[in-house]
Structure formats: structure tokens, C-alpha cells
């Protein structure tokens, strides 16, 4: 997305609730037409950020803009540019899916019946569109909420855990649909999820948030290599190989999960140095392979938390204001 204008601009955004710091000077941008992954453990500040973007919450400091409009002071103009689907869709159970869309369409202004029919088809709800929502499964509600978010043809779609309640086929279908919307219609997707495999398959760029701070941001291909170089080495003597590699500055080594192997990580490319050191001491090297880490590996290293888990401890509170001392 190099060279594309930013539709979302977040600059040094901070927010606290009492003495609990939810966000601390986070900054990132989302380019027009990209699929953007927003990641972090439960309690990391993702929902707070999304609420600020939607104009539901004001920040303590910093700015958040959509299409150049401030999300708080210019909310009315910013809101015309985005649609949103939250984790728990607010739908009327006593109305049909189609009537829910009609109701929400009235709030937006002129949205014709043809677009409602088109959206129901787009999310795979044509056959059930006239059934009452209270008869829908959670997955069907999520699909209807996605259609609701696309009413009025927004430029930006903000999705908070949109795969909740979907079976594997539904998740696969949603992934194809979102990529199609981004590719064919130029729709920007802001995708907050704990399903890292889906983010890895779908997103162009990601941000990882932890304890209210941005730990890493950038193209997915760069983020998964943020921790440097990783190797699996098949050797003739594992214990001796570990001893030798530990003596090499900058290398971290441990016993591999595959028999007669070690795994090595380093910030710089040490493959040649490691291979020469092992061979020089008489250790047979059957294979030295650079391994690519997945997004989940990087995520756990950055946050120390498994995907979908809450934070192991609350974020640090902001510093207390200075107390004036009377003399």
C-alpha cells in the first residue's frame, strides 16, 4: 500500500480510566484500500481505540482522524465515511434481517431496497433475510451485522472480532468476502481479531498492541521477521553443538523438537559463523535451515500472552500528578 493516502490517522493517542492507563501515546495509520490487522491480548486497549475511532469515547491526549476529520470534534463528518461491526451485534430479534437493515438504513438517509437485497446476497443471507433475527445463529447475526456495516457504501469498515460464532466454513467465506471488498471495491478493512491465522491470511499490515502501547507496526512480512534470524540445525551431537553455539556472541540456542536437532535465534545472520564453528570442532552438520516464524510466534514473544488470553497483570497506572507543598 505504499503511496496510498491514509484514511485512518492515530497520533500519540492516550486514554486513562482513573489510575488505569488504557492507551499510552499510540500511533499508527491505515492506508486507503488495505486490510489492516489490529491485534493484542484482551485488555490491551483495542476496544478503547475502536471506541475512540467510532466517536463513542474521547481521548485524554493525541488525535484520531478518519478521512482527515477528527473522530470526536468532527464525528458527524467522520461517521459518514465508516461502517462498523462490533463483537456483540445490536440487532432487533423481533424483526427480520431485511427489516433490521431497512431500519438502520433510515438513519443513514437514502439507501434503496436494491442495496439491501445486494448486501444480503453478499453476506450469504438471501434465503434467511426474511426470517426473524431471534431465530438466527450467532454466525448468521455476525453476517447480518457485516451487511449493516456496509449500508451507505462506506470507505472504511471497522470490524471488532467479526469471526465470533462462525464455523470454519463461515470464517473461510468471510475471509474471501473481505478480501474481495478490499480488492474489487477499494474498501478499507480495519480488522480486530484474536484469530491470528485469519489475520495472517487476510491482512496487508498489522499493529500489535500490548498494555496500551504499540509493540510493533508494519507490513506483515516485516512484522513476522521482527525478531531477526531463526535456524534449525540437524547435528551429530546435540549436547556438544549446544555448548559450541552458546559460545558464539549474539546466538541463542536450545534443543530442537526434532530428534538430533538444535534451534538457534539471532538478531543478525550468523548461519556461516555457526556452521564453521560446528564443523571445526568435528560436529557433523546434516542440515542448516532458516525457519520463518509465524505471526503467532511473534505475537507471543512481543506480548508474553497466548492469543485470546487476558493480560497476566494490569497495565501500570499513569504517574500521579505532583502535589503542591505549602511552605
Q: What are 274-285's pLDDT values in tens digits?
A: 999 999 999 999
Average pLDDT, the chain: 85
Selected residue with higher pLDDT from 43 and 242: 242
pLDDT interval class at 95 (50, 70, 90):
very high
Could you tell me the CATH superfamily of domain 6-81+154-223?
P-loop containing nucleotide triphosphate hydrolases (3.40.50.300)
Query: How many degrees, rounded to 5, is the angle at CA 281 between CA 275 and CA 286?
Result: 45
Sheet holding 82-85, edge to edge: 82-85, 156-160, 188-192, 35-39, 205-210, 213-219
Q: Find out whether 220 and 198 touch, Cβ atoms under 8 Å.
A: no
46-59 residue pLDDT tens: 999 999 999 999 99
* Cα distances (Å, whole numbers) of residue 72 to 51, 55, 61, 266: 10, 5, 12, 44
Residues of the chain above pLDDT 70, percent: 88
Which carries the bigger pLDDT value, residue 167 or residue 187?
187
Stretch(es) of the chain classified as CATH 3.40.50.300:
6-81+154-223
Name residues whose C-beta falls within 8 Å of residue 148's C-beta, 6 or more positions apart in sequence.
83, 85, 89, 91, 100, 101, 104
pLDDT at site 327: 40
Q: For residue range 289-310, what is the model confidence (pLDDT) as tens digits?
A: 887 666 766 777 777 766 655 5
Q: What percent of the chain has pLDDT over 90?
A: 48
pLDDT digit string, tens, across residues 173-184 = 788 888 888 888
Confidence band for 319, pLDDT divided at 50, 70 and 90: low
Q: Which residues in the chain are classed under CATH 3.30.70.100? A: 229-292
Structure-model confidence comparison of residues 327 and 281, the more confident one: 281
pLDDT digits (tens, 9 = 90+) for 186-237: 889 999 987 777 788 888 899 989 889 998 888 877 777 655 788 899 999 9
Question: CA-CA distance, 206 to 221, in Å (whole number)?
Answer: 10
pTM of the model: 0.73
Residue 207 is placed in which grid cell? 499493529
The CATH label, of 3.40.50.970, 3.30.70.100, 2.130.10.30, 3.30.160.20, for the domain at 229-292 is: 3.30.70.100
Amino acid at each position: 500500500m505504499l503511496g496510498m493516502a491514509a484514511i485512518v490517522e492515530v497520533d500519540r493517542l492516550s486514554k486513562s480510566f482513573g489510575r488505569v492507563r488504557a492507551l499510552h501515546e499510540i500511533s499508527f495509520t491505515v492506508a486507503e484500500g488495505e486490510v489492516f490487522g489490529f491485534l493484542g491480548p484482551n485488555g490491551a486497549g483495542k476496544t478503547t481505540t475502536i471506541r475512540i475511532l467510532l466517536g463513542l469515547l474521547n481521548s485524554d491526549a493525541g488525535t484520531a482522524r478518519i478521512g482527515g476529520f477528527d473522530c470526536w470534534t468532527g464525528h458527524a463528518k467522520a461517521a459518514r465515511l465508516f461502517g462498523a461491526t462490533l463483537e456483540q451485534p445490536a440487532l432487533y430479534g423481533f424483526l427480520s434481517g431485511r427489516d433490521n437493515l431497512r431500519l438502520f438504513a433510515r438513519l443513514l438517509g437514502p439507501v434503496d431496497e436494491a442495496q439491501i437485497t445486494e448486501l444480503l446476497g453478499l453476506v450469504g443471507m438471501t434465503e434467511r433475510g426474511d426470517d426473524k433475527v431471534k431465530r438466527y445463529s450467532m454466525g448468521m447475526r455476525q453476517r447480518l451485522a457485516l451487511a449493516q456495516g456496509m449500508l451507505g457504501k462506506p470507505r472504511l469498515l471497522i470490524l471488532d472480532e467479526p469471526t465470533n460464532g462462525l464455523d470454519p466454513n463461515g470464517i473461510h467465506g468471510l475471509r474471501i468476502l473481505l478480501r474481495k471488498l478490499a480488492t474489487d471495491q477499494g474498501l478499507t478493512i480495519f480488522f480486530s481479531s484474536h484469530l491470528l491465522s485469519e489475520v495472517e491470511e487476510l491482512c496487508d499490515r498489522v499493529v500489535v498492541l500490548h498494555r496500551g502501547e504499540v509493540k510493533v507496526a508494519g507490513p506483515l512480512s516485516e512484522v513476522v521477521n521482527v525478531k531477526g534470524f531463526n535456524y534449525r540445525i540437524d547435528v551429530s551431537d546435540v549436547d556438544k553443538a549446544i555448548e559450541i553455539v552458546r559460545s558464539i556472541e549474539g546466538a541463542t540456542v536450545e534443543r530442537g523438537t526434532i530428534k538430533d536437532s538444535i534451534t538457534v535465534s539471532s538478531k543478525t545472520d550468523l548461519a556461516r559463523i555457526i556452521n564453521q564453528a560446528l564443523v571445526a570442532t568435528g560436529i557433523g552438520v546434516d542440515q542448516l535451515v532458516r525457519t520463518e516464524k509465524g505471526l503467532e510466534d511473534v505475537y507471543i514473544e512481543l506480548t508474553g500472552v497466548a492469543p485470546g488470553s487476558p493480560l497476566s497483570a494490569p497495565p501500570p497506572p499513569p504517574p500521579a500528578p505532583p502535589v503542591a507543598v505549602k511552605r
